[in-house]
Amino acid sequence: MEVRDKIYIDGAWVPSTGKGTLEVFDSNTEEVIGTIPEGTAEDADRAISAASAAFGEWSALSHEERSKLLARVAEGLAARTDEIAQTISQEVGMPLSLAKIVQVGLPTGVFADIAKKVTEFEWETELGNSLIVREPVGVVGAITPWNYPLYQISLKVAPALAAGCTVVLKPSEIAPLNAFALADIFHDIGFPAGVFNLVTGVGNVVGEAIASHPKVDMVSFTGSTRAGKRVMTLAAESVKKVALELGGKSANILLEDADIDAAIPGSLFACYINSGQTCSALTRLVVPRSKLAEIEEKAKAAAEGFVPGNSLEATTTLGPLASAVQRDRVRGYIEKGLSEGAKLVTGGTEPPEGLDKGYFVRPTVFSNVTRDMTIAQEEIFGPVLSILPYDTEEEAIAIANDSIYGLSGGVWSTDKAHAERVARRLRTGQVDINGGAFNAVAPFGGFKQSGVGRERGEFGLEEFLEYKSLQR
């Protein structure tokens, strides 16, 4: 049981001005594994004032000095990999071995990479009679979700600090303990007071206080499209810069000439990773109608090959969902799929056998899904794949683009050039061709209602910069 009773403001662990606490649950057992302070708008205000006061000195440091400090954050995270991965695995439900790589390895890499990038980046360029200088945007409010909690924090905090900004972080109440570990690391390294601040609490109190605060220059948000719209509305009042990384309903097109045996296992993994709690999950499998029966059979076998279980057990390949709310929401979508007439290929609303406790959902596949069905349009955020058949390639592309979202996508074909032509026609921020490997520094973000702005690598750093032109 991890009891955290203080928040981190101005270089010190201090009590919240509120009296409330929030409980953190093990999604495998439904037991409480920690408590955190339920912060207040006043806490947010104190943290923002500290960040504002610290901005001048932090932004004036040399890139080399900031780089050295950020490299030490990577070292601090690497040293605590096992402990942090175990906590996130319990909070979120990702199998532990994968959590070590994805939930801790990736964010460690983000800090290490930005520490390097900050010294190589072209901070000033000449353009005619102008000198273009990049300057930090100012005080950044970072509001993050629970599905890849530390990674999403790192994608904001690391580039923001590298740019010379100061930060107030409000992590998700569902998976917050890693944020405390990160604050410990900042504290132990001896970051200047006020550069990094942590205020926990619920979104509609602390999150809204950050999004509406006049001293916050930029708010960077990852989460649901619903909350993202609210953040953008609040931020408009003081004309803040806003970066939003929101939901998705990404399509994965198997072209006529796709290698089905290669495509199906990869496609199921791309949908079920982290129990489907992934904004870029490929949740709509768009397939040639002529091959529907074969694909259904193979998808069923691949889905049933996943082993649901406690995320800390080595044999588990599909853990639980992060919360009871999330489990009930996903089961609700499965019910909706059934009532709207989709064909259930495997899975369903019952918990997996022997897993009545914990927030488990069966690996589920629907077929004969049509574009107008709820399960073809809304983000489910669980292990639920929808197969949509098509008759022509034009129709496949139209199905893929028939979404309010535009985050990710996939195309499978034995002819790579053919796959690339189709990929260029998808209105999404990224497309994986034949299961193309993850690239940690390629820009990540959405078209349409999947968001505004890009994260990762140099593109992510630029989000936290203003451009100033000096005419000479």
What number of residues does the chain have? 472
List the catalytic residue out of 91, 245, 296, 379: 245
Q: Does 233 bind ligand NDP (CB under 6 A)?
A: no
Q: How far is the CB of 205 from ligand NDP (least distance, A)?
A: 8
Cβ distance to ligand NDP smaller for residue 41 or 71: 41
DSSP 412-464: E-SSHHHHHHHHHTS-SS--EETT----TTS-B--EETTEES-BSHHHHHHTT
Distance (Å, rounded) from C-alpha 74 to C-alpha 109? 7
Closest CB to ligand NDP among residues 131, 202 = 202
Question: Rounded to 5 degrees, what angle do the CA atoms 280, 354, 366 make?
Answer: 40
Taking CB under 6 A as the binding criterion, the range among 43-51, 223-231, 263-271, 341-349 that sits at the site for ligand NDP is 223-231
Catalytic residue among 38, 91, 165, 279: 279
Angle, vertex CA 116, rays to CA 111 and CA 120, nearest 5: 140
Candidate segments 24-32, 58-66, 142-150, 349-357, binder of ligand NDP by CB under 6 A: 142-150
Per rule CB under 6 A, is residue 406 in the interface with ligand NDP?
no
Phi, psi dihedral angles at 448 (to 5 degrees): 50, -140
* 107 belongs to the binding site for ligand NDP (CB under 6 A): no
Number of shown-chain residues binding ligand NDP (CB under 6 A) = 26
Query: Measured from the CB of residue 431, what is the shortest distance to ligand NDP in angstroms?
Result: 18
**Nearest to ligand NDP of 94, 254 (CB atom):** 94
Query: In 3-state terms, the chain is what percent helix, strand and coil (to 5)?
Result: 45, 20, 35
Q: Is 222 in the site for ligand NDP (CB under 6 A)?
A: yes
Residue in this structure with the two tokens 């319990």, named with its chain if needed: 90
370 binds ligand NDP (CB under 6 A): no
- For 100-191, strand residue ranges (E) read 124-127, 130-136, 139-143, 166-170
Task: State the DSSP code for 291.
Answer: G
**Residue 279 is a catalytic residue:** yes
What residues between 147 and 166 interact with ligand NDP by CB under 6 A? 147
The Cα 371–Cα 25 span in angstroms is 36
Q: Which stretch binds ligand NDP (CB under 6 A): 103-111, 144-152, 186-194, 392-400?
A: 144-152
Q: Is 357 left (phi over 0), alpha (psi -120 to 50) or beta?
A: beta
Decide: is 173 part of the binding site for ligand NDP (CB under 6 A): yes
Q: Which residues pair with 409 in a beta bridge?
A: 251
Stretch 188-217 residues interacting with ligand NDP (CB under 6 A):
202-204, 207-208, 211
271 catalytic residue (yes or no): no
Residues 251-310 that bind ligand NDP (CB under 6 A): 279
**Contact 24/39 with Cβ under 8 angstroms?**
no
Give yes or no for residue 231 binding ligand NDP (CB under 6 A). yes
Closest CA relative to residue 443, chosen from 92, 123, 159, 204: 159
**Residue 245 is encoded by which pair of tokens?**
């990384």
47 binds ligand NDP (CB under 6 A): no
State in angstroms the smallest separation of the CB of 36 from ligand NDP.
Answer: 10
Other CB atoms within 10 A of residue 341 CB: 10
According to CB under 6 A, which one of 227, 235, 287, 387 is a site residue for ligand NDP?
227
Residues labelled catalytic: 245, 279
Binding site for ligand NDP (CB under 6 A): 143-145, 147, 170, 172-173, 202-204, 207-208, 211, 222-224, 227, 230-231, 246-247, 279, 326, 329, 379, 381
